[in-house]
Amino acid sequence: MLKIAACLFAIAALGGLTMAVMHFRGKTPPPVALALGHGAFAASGIVVLFLALWPNFNGGAVFALGLFVLAALGGLTLALGFHRRGKALPSGFIVGHGSLAALAFLVLLAVAFNLVG
Q: Is 94 helix (H, G, I), strand (E, B) or coil?
A: helix
Q: Give the C-alpha separation, 102 to 108, whole Å.
A: 10
117, part of any domain: no
End-to-end Cα spacing for the chain: 18
77, part of any domain: yes
Q: Give the C-alpha separation, 75 to 105, whole Å.
A: 15
Structural domain boundaries enclosing 87: 2-112
pLDDT at 28: 82
The per-residue pLDDT for range 66-110, each reduced to its tens digit, is 999 999 999 999 999 999 999 999 999 999 999 999 999 999 999
What is the domain count for the chain? 1
pLDDT at 91: 96
84, part of any domain: yes
Q: Give the C-alpha separation, 88 to 91, whole Å.
A: 9
Q: For the chain, how big is the Rg over CA atoms in Å?
A: 14
72, part of any domain: yes
Contact 21, 34 (CB under 8 A): no
| pLDDT band for position 59 (cuts 50, 70, 90) | confident
Q: Does residue 64 carry a pLDDT above 90? A: yes
